[in-house]
Amino acid sequence: MPNLLAMSFEGELAPSFDLTCLRPGGKLPDGWGIGYYPGGEPSATVLKEPAPPQGSIRSELVKAWEHLESSLLVLHIRTATWGSINDANTQPFSRSWGGRDWLFAHSGSLVDRIEVDPRSLFQPVGSTDTELILCELLRWMASEGLRSIGDIDPRVLRDWFDEMNEHGPLTSVLADGRDLVVYADRDREGDAFLWEVLPPYERLAFGDDDLEVDLTRRGVKSRKGVIVSSEELKVHGGAKAAWTRVAPGHLVVLRQGALRATVSPRTDKRGASPSTPPLSSRPIRRPTHAAVRRFNVVHRTSYHYASPVERSTHLLRLTPAHDRLQSLLRNELHLSVEGQQRDYEDVFGNRARRVLLDTPFTDLVIESRSQVELLDTDPLSFRPLRARSTIPLVWMPWQRQVLQPFLLPPELPESELAELIEYAMTFVERNDYDLLDTLLDLNASIFEEYEYKQGATNLSTTAFDVYATRRGVCQDFTNLFICLTRLLGVPSRYVCGYIYTGPKHENQRQSEASHAWVQVYLPEIGWKGFDPTNGILTQTHHIRVAVGRNYVDATPTSGTIFVGGGAERLAVDVRVEPTE
């Protein structure tokens, strides 16, 4: 039976808790309690029951009640050591401070009882050491003017727990409605295990002989999360949970289902020693200065038809962009079939060519040869000089009118958009509403958590489909990024072009076809490129060709066959090579 269980998930989740220990023949605990934050508010709700009887009505409530929904949940199952068995001594404990409710649960029992200053604003109601710890923690925070976990340097919080650990076992969890802190006792008197849950999953339930938790009983949401437990629980259905023990004396901070910080024990009074995160922490990739580069690009498209095409029109966007960040040094565009051609600039500023072919053909080869110089050497060079941009962004009316095509999300069912909005907001909340940090986190998360799998999607695959299945190709990841940013009120556009990955790169296939990424409009900065397929910002490896609201606006080649054709066979070959 786990003494302590806590969860931090992206957005709200409605798990079902089945206290099987309360069934006939089970070993009854001295009490149990669950705390959570309904509606994402900083106000906590706590359900608890001391000395529960078999078939407890309250336990049936947490098993079936659909309103038990939150991003943060803390469950404690008590074996009494100090204090009588009553509500006042049943965990988790809750106190209000700094405009939010705090939840605290403790696995263990102190050897030396601490004393609370009688003048303190925070006084225990019951007689447990756990409630004393919470009162002392909040007294210290109030004296330091700290109003949330986010206000505290994790190393300072680690130091506080270290000092309290002098009094006895202290494996515990602390929540403030946004963050979840896990501290592992430095003497291994009480363990804390972490399990990172990654979607997609159709059913996910775990537990032991005394407790079963079903994350999907009330519906499946494609959300990642972290589960904290005092014991390694088993996953039902044969899957294996990758539990990782939090090293003794380590403190971990979680927010919206992601590792926010980890701090190792002090080695001396001057600070902490380096540590390895107990989870697969995904540091956000921040680019460094890149040298100017030149590339030769050959884009060859071949069509073969079963019967002659007698008349057709084609729209080509194969000429790379020329602006202050990218110089087009040379471009030649050839078609193997003669026809009428006209060059123009489309409404998005792309160089386009309209072609009318009325000479019959069964084979058509379109070849574009270009040489470009890339100058976007440091995409974050503006950051030290900028004022902090936060979400939501505020646009002047004329700015919003101009940017409107890049603010409108795709047409999806309202239920799907609502779930995507909630998903997008988890990145915002995780990064304290900072615009750039949110975008960097989103870019890195899609790269790390979504599988690049060719053939798994097609042109009709929606952003919600990609979110639900967590797989796709560059076009799919770009569409998802665009959808999420637009739902946040951040203008974004689809970019089609090429990427140079190097001759032996594992993603060399991306260099052998057109590549897609995103440009986001940052206030007083302009359009900046994010490549979620590779988890990087665009610098001097991405060659821009066309932009638009979506793939249709920027597709390299498209057309209409009016007469003839039959079955079509298409082959595309792209070569991107640095100049000598």
The pLDDT tens digits for 113-165 are: 888 888 889 999 998 999 999 999 999 999 999 999 999 999 999 999 999 99
**Is residue 171 very low, low, confident or very high in pLDDT (cuts 50, 70, 90)?**
very high
User: Are residues 430 and 345 located together in one domain of the fold?
Assistant: no
With 50 as the cut, is the pLDDT of residue 270 above it? no
Q: Is the domain of 214 the same as that of 301?
A: no
pLDDT range class, residue 27, cuts 50, 70, 90: confident
**Nearest to 544, CA basis, from 554, 535, 553:** 554
* Maximum average pLDDT range among 95-104, 388-397, 453-462: 95-104
How many domains is the chain built from? 3
Residue 121 in any domain: the answer is: yes
- State how beta strands 451-452 and 471-472 pair: parallel
Is 271 within a domain?
Answer: no
Q: Identify whether the C-beta of residue 164 lies closer than 8 Å to the C-beta of residue 432.
A: no
Residue appearing with tokens 């980890």: 262
Indicate whether 419 and 330 sit together in one domain. Answer: no
- CATH code (residue 63): 3.60.20.10
User: Vertex 248, ends 260 and 80: CA angle to 5°?
Assistant: 100
Q: Are residues 371 and 411 in the same domain?
A: no
Q: The pTM is what?
A: 0.89
> pLDDT value at position 506?
56
543 belongs to a structural domain: no
Q: Which long-range contacts (CB under 8 A, 24 or more apart) does 54-57 make?
A: 54/22, 54/23, 54/24, 54/26, 54/28, 55/22, 55/23, 55/24, 56/19, 56/22
- The answer to whether 476 and 461 are in contact (CB under 8 A) is yes
- Asked if residue 195 and residue 146 are part of one domain, the reply reads yes
| CATH code, domain with 418 | 3.10.620.30
pLDDT confidence tier of residue 238, bands split at 50, 70 and 90: low
User: Tell me: the pLDDT tens digits for 509-552?
Assistant: 455 679 999 999 998 889 999 999 999 999 999 999 999 999 99
Residue 281: pLDDT band with limits 50, 70, 90? very low
The answer to the question of residue 183 being in a domain is yes
Tell whether 279 is covered by a domain: no
286 is a domain residue? no
In a domain, 90, yes or no: yes
What is the tens place of the pLDDT at every residue in 411-430? 999 999 999 999 999 999 99
- H-run or E-run covering 425: helix 414-430
The pLDDT of residue 273 is: 44
Query: Is there a single domain that holds both residue 369 and residue 244?
Result: no
Instruction: Please give the pLDDT value at position 30.
Output: 87
Amino acid 509: pLDDT: 47
The owner of tokens 């949330």 is: 148
Tell me the average pLDDT of the chain. Answer: 90
Beta-bridged to residue 472, according to DSSP, are 452
Scan for tokens 């799998």, then name that residue.
Answer: 453
Residue 568 CA to its chain's centroid (Å): 40
Q: Which residue has the higher pLDDT, 380 or 86?
A: 86
Identify whether the C-beta of residue 56 lies closer than 8 Å to the C-beta of residue 49.
yes
Which of these ranges, 386-395, 396-405, 549-558, has the smallest mean pLDDT?
Answer: 386-395
pLDDT for position 384: 56
In a domain, 276, yes or no: no
∠ CA 162-133-41, rounded to 5°: 105
Count each helix (H run) and each strand (E run) in the chain, helices first.
9, 33
- The pLDDT, as a whole number, for residue 505 is 52
Both tokens assigned to 455: 């053939």
- Residue 442 has φ and ψ, to the nearest 5°, of -60, -45
| 307 and 230 assigned to the same domain | no
C-alpha–C-alpha distance, residues 76 and 32, integer Å: 6
* Rg of the Cα atoms in the chain: 29
- Hey, what are 181's tokens? 């802190």
Q: Are 473 and 426 in contact (CB under 8 A)?
A: no
What pLDDT shows up at residue 276?
43
Residues 64 and 175 in one domain: yes
Q: Residue 299's domain is classified under what CATH number?
A: 2.60.40.2250
Within 8 A by CB and 6+ apart from 217, the residues are 15, 16, 205
Q: 363 and 237 in one domain?
A: no
Inter-axis angle of helices 414-430 and 435-449, nearest 10? 110
Looking at the structure, tell me whether residues 16 and 81 fall in a common domain.
yes
Average pLDDT of 185-196?
92
Q: What 8-state DSSP symbol labels residue 243?
A: -
Pairwise CA distance, residues 400 & 407, whole Å: 8
129, two tokens: 């050491």
Q: What is the mean pLDDT of residues 267-285?
A: 50
Give the Cα separation of 271 and 263 in Å (integer): 10
Query: What number is the average pLDDT over the span 63-86?
Result: 85
Q: Is 474 found in the same domain as 445? A: yes
State residue 275's pLDDT score. Answer: 45
49-58, 504-513, 526-535: least confidently modelled range: 504-513
pLDDT category, 380, cuts 50, 70, 90? confident
Q: In the numeric block, which tokens belong to residue 117?
A: 């200053």
In this predicted structure, the answer to whether residue 21 has a pLDDT above a threshold of 60 is yes
Helical segments of 365-413, H only: 397-403
Which residues constitute the domain of residue 344? Answer: 292-375+559-579
Q: Looking at the structure, do residues 202 and 309 belong to the same domain, yes or no?
A: no
pLDDT confidence of residue 92: 96
